[in-house]
Structure 1
Amino acid sequence: MDKIRVAIQGTKASFHEEAAFKYFGEDIETIECDSFKATCDALKQKKADYVVMAIENSIAGSLLPNYNLLQEYRFPIIGEVYLGIQLHLMALPGITLEQIKFVESHPIALRQCADFFEEHPDIKVSEGMDTAACAKKISENKLTDTAAVANALAAKIYGLEILDRRIETNKKNYTRFLILAAKPGENPNANKASISFQTDNSIGSLAKVLNYFAEHQINMSKIQSMPVLGKRNEYIFHVDFEWKKLSDYEAAIRKTLKHTVNFNILGEYQKNEKV
């Protein structure tokens, strides 16, 4: 039986691959892509069966370009996964912290370790495309004066030693990833949905729509506004809802359809518990 192919942004052992393992299990084939757009293209071209896409981080906030990709490609969301982000400083075996002159990692990962770098002002920090790619570069080029900030999986895969564990400033750091597929799947356990819509510019129009869900005991867990490209003062709203009774959710949707434009259900799926 062929393995499930999952497109990820970044290199093997990246947080995206770790999230894919958490959702699908480790018996999968990961398709490495240079960008989030490339992951969507891989799914569109049937080179992948699924995409794992980061959508928000508890510290860095929403990944706004990825909301544009959800609109552009319209791939259904079939699931979500939360991953605790644990960042470690790693280098070639035998190298000590005193030998490290440079540290490379993804810019968001570096920002999340600001306190550590304040304590080590002699270390020069430089940004890379991906946490795991920086670990791979150190391993392949035998860089004895450079360390990477990445996850434990990267240290294991690329044969590096962890010099300092959990150097992230905020220990309650997690990222939410969406699971995208080419076609929607039937999920009888669905209790969460991601939708998008526009309202007119009249006073209280958004509040009126959101109130339909509140009236039916539907919990709004996330709202994100995005400008409509090329349209002044027009916004599209991305909203996540959670429900206990499917009939309540369906009733709220019926009301919402009458008072919104460009309404889309981006996905109905099972809520994943946070880390």
Structure 2
Amino acid sequence: MAKRKKTKVAIQGIATSFHEVAALTYFQEPIETVECLSFHELCESLKNGTSDYAVMAIENSIAGSILPNYFLLQSYHFSIIGELYLPIHMHLLALPGVKLDDIKSIESHPMAIRQCTEFIHTLNGVEVRESDDTALSAKRVKELKLKNTAAIANEFAAKKFGLQILEKRIETHKKNFTRFLVLTKRSNGKLESNKASLCFEVANEVGSLAEALMTFKNNSINLTKIQSIPIIGKPSEYSIHIDVEWKRRKSYDEAMRQVLRQVKNLNVLGEYKKAKIEYR
């Protein structure tokens, strides 16, 4: 009997990165992760068919929205089929035997660094370096035997690369999570949904955005996210990204019919099931 082919999922980073943890958590089945060191590479993997799905971080509860990823969503026209809120626990990792006083530099992904700024500010004279991935930073410390460098990463990276945890839970706020989107090239359109991600443009006139947003309110649609993105080549014009939730599908459909007459270039990025936020 032929073996079932594993689903290929593109992640930003390498094995044990938070993206891999998110992918494994969401799919709940054996998957093959396709490692990508940038979000652009991740999108190219999905576009070119070297992966079936992609898992992309879009915002963090401490560091905020990842704005470049909104531009990627617009450029590649993928479908969002799901989301996941992953609790993020950051640890300071170093080679066995190294003490905190020995550390002269800290390395990690820029978003991880932003989530740990309060802890980093307590360290005097320590250089902070940005890298492509949290797990990759841990791997570098191990392979290059960097005795005066620590990495900010998760406990899975510590175990995989044989590093000790110098300081646990160094994130600025303990209820820290990252929201990930699950992307595919073509949605089958049959998913159960109660949430949608949309983007559109409005006229540069007084009240034009407010009018569109009131349409959702008047139809009992909950607005959970709003993000403006500059439109390249059009100064003072923005693309508006919103996330909405509904209890009755008819209410959402009616709101969409009305808002179509109020905005320009309305694009449904995806309709999917709302994920739970569970702190651990």
TM-score bucket (shorter structure): over 0.9
Correspondence 1:113 to 2:135: no
Correspondence 1:177 to 2:180: yes
Call closer, same or farther: CA 1:61–1:183 in 2, change over 3 Å. same
Match of 2:41 among 38, 42, 57: 38
Cα pair 2:19 2:55 within 8 Å, conserved: yes
Cα pair 1:56 1:62 within 8 Å, conserved: yes
Paired residue type of 1:152 = E
- For structure 2, which runs of at least 5 residues remain unmatched after alignment? none
3-state DSSP class of the match of 1:47? coil
Bigger mean CA deviation after superposition, 109-118 or 15-24: 109-118
- For structure 1, which runs of at least 5 residues remain unmatched after alignment? none
Call closer, same or farther: CA 1:70–1:82 in 2, change over 3 Å. same
Correspondence 1:220 to 2:223: yes
Could you say which residue in structure 2 is the equivalent of 1:129? 132
Correspondence 1:60 to 2:63: yes
Deviation at 1:152, TM superposition (A): 1.0
2: CA distance between counterparts of 1:256 and 1:25? 37
Bigger mean CA deviation after superposition, 39-48 or 119-128: 119-128
Cα pair 1:187 1:269 within 8 Å, conserved: no
2: CA distance between counterparts of 1:64 and 1:118? 25
2: CA distance between counterparts of 1:165 and 1:70? 34
Cα pair 2:62 2:172 within 8 Å, conserved: no
Could you say which residue in structure 2 is the equivalent of 1:145? 148
Bigger mean CA deviation after superposition, 262-271 or 197-206: 197-206
Deviation at 1:163, TM superposition (A): 1.6
1: CA distance between counterparts of 2:38 and 2:108? 16
Cα pair 2:228 2:240 within 8 Å, conserved: yes
Correspondence 1:100 to 2:103: yes
Deviation string for 1:168-203 (max 9, x for gaps)?
121122111111001113344300000111122232
Could you say which residue in structure 2 is the equivalent of 1:164? 167
Q: How does 1:246-261 map to 2 (within 5 A)?
A: 246-261=249-264
2: CA distance between counterparts of 1:19 and 1:208? 37
2: CA distance between counterparts of 1:140 and 1:273? 38
Deviation at 1:113, TM superposition (A): 2.0
Could you say which residue in structure 1 is the equivalent of 2:92? 89
Bigger mean CA deviation after superposition, 249-258 or 120-129: 120-129
Aligned-residue CA RMSD in angstroms?
1.5
2: CA distance between counterparts of 1:220 and 1:67? 18
Deviation string for 1:20-49 (max 9, x for gaps)?
111113621111112111111101110001
1: CA distance between counterparts of 2:163 and 2:133? 16
1: CA distance between counterparts of 2:191 and 2:79? 16
1: CA distance between counterparts of 2:265 and 2:232? 14
Deviation string for 1:130-149 (max 9, x for gaps)?
11111000111122222111
So what's the TM-score if we normalise by structure 1?
Answer: 0.95
3-state DSSP class of the match of 1:180? strand
Could you say which residue in structure 1 is the equivalent of 2:205? 202
Number of aligned residue pairs: 275
Cα pair 1:78 1:185 within 8 Å, conserved: no
3-state DSSP class of the match of 2:217? helix
Paired residue type of 1:262 = N
2: CA distance between counterparts of 1:145 and 1:236? 45
Identity %: 53
Cα pair 2:102 2:147 within 8 Å, conserved: yes
Call closer, same or farther: CA 1:258–1:106 in 2, change over 3 Å. same
